[in-house]
Amino acid sequence: MTRKPNSKNTKAEILEAYKELLAERNALEKEMKQMNNAGTPQVSTVEKKQTNGSVSAKVMKDKMMYTLDSLVKLQLGFGSSVSELSEKLTSEAAKLEELRTGVTEETQQLAELHNLSEIQDETLDTLIEAYQNSSKAFDEEIYQRREELELEMNQLQQSWYKEQEEHQRAIKERNEEQRKIRDRDAKEYDYNLALQRSLDEEAYKHNQEGLYKELEETRQQQEKQWAERENAIAEREKQFEEAKTKVEAFDQEKSVAIKKAQEEGKAIASHQVKIQADLQNKELEGNNRVYQLRIESLEQTIKESSARIHSLSQQLDTALKQVQDLAVKAIEGASNINSYQALKEIALEQAKNPTKGK
């Protein structure tokens, strides 16, 4: 049986199939001619047998009719087969022409693609073999390149892992170093704060001692001045008594004159003593008032200093707390040593000069 060609067959295979179909057609036509030529003698032979014997006439007639029917059916079958075969051959011829056109186009494309000057039967095999060799070489190159890339990827991955480990170790070391620096700075800050508070307390105590000492010296000096003035008044009274005694001892003869002089002298002395006493009393009262005012001023100064020191202590505590909060936030947020050092210096400056921060 002839194989049906398709678009995958080569030119030689298609031509061979066409030749086989043509041979089958010729053979069928030859058989049909032989059968047509053999039909007439058979009919004449049957008629002769019918005339020669009456016994077998019916059998022969039936056989003849069967044979005729068979021939008619065979002829009809051959006719339809020939028509079908003709249609198939026509269709196959059209397909063959299409295949030839396709082969021509493919051949031209192959020639243009591979720069072939002449297309032969083995050209396609040669191209296929060259393609297979190129494909094999390409596959080997791809496989080798894939292995190289996998090796390179493994190396890069190991290098990346190593870099990550070094990076993590560096971060850990940096965090540890920053923690140590923060601890050291915090200790230094606490030490400076305690030292500053101690210095402020010592200065306050020293100032208080100075004020109390000055107040005591003022009081002692005032008491000394009062004692000196009392002694001077007592000395003058003593002199007055002595003069009075001497005047009483004068002679009776001079009693009138003495009495007069005494009265005059007493009046003068009393007046002078009164004036002097008034002056001294006024002076003592003035000095007493001055010292009292000075004492009150010093006491007021002490009270104001105490209140101011208390207020400054509260302001210092508030400023230090704010600075500590800012320092903690700055350390936790940015981990910046310079910012922390700047905040620490600001805190110390505010602690030294609290009036500037009001």
Confidence at residue 42, expressed as pLDDT on a 0 to 100 scale: 45
Confidence at residue 17, expressed as pLDDT on a 0 to 100 scale: 64
Taking 70 as the threshold, does the pLDDT of residue 138 lie above it?
Answer: yes
Instruction: State the Cα angle at 103 between 102 and 109, rounded to 5°.
Output: 90
**Top-confidence residue, 184 or 251:** 184
**Top-confidence residue, 31 or 220:** 220
pLDDT in tens, 187-196: 888 888 888 8
Q: Which residues of 97-135 are buried (b: 16+ CB within 10 A; e: fewer)?
A: eebeeebeeeeeeeeeeeeeeebeeeeeeeeeeeeeeee
**Top-confidence residue, 137 or 71:** 137
**Top-confidence residue, 335 or 25:** 25
Q: How far apart are CA 24 and CA 19, in angstroms?
A: 9
Residue 347: count of CB within 10 angstroms of its CB = 22
Q: How far apart are CA 108 and CA 114, in angstroms?
A: 10
- pLDDT tier, 51 (very low <50, low <70, confident <90, very high otherwise): very low
Secondary structure (3-state) at 118:
coil
Please, what sign has the CA dihedral across residues 244, 250, 256, 261?
negative
164: which 2 tokens? 């990550």
Q: Is the pTM of this model over 0.85?
A: no
Average pLDDT over residues 191-216: 79
- pLDDT tier, 266 (very low <50, low <70, confident <90, very high otherwise): low
* Residue-wise DSSP of 9-23: S-HHHHHHHHHHHHH
- pLDDT tier, 208 (very low <50, low <70, confident <90, very high otherwise): confident
Lowest mean pLDDT: which of 77-86, 168-177, 216-225? 77-86
Confidence at residue 127, expressed as pLDDT on a 0 to 100 scale: 64
Q: How far apart are CA 102 and CA 7, in angstroms?
A: 9
User: What separation in angstroms does the CA of 329 have from each of 140, 175, 323, 326, 336?
Assistant: 63, 17, 10, 5, 11
Highest mean pLDDT among 66-80, 89-103, 231-245, 336-350: 89-103
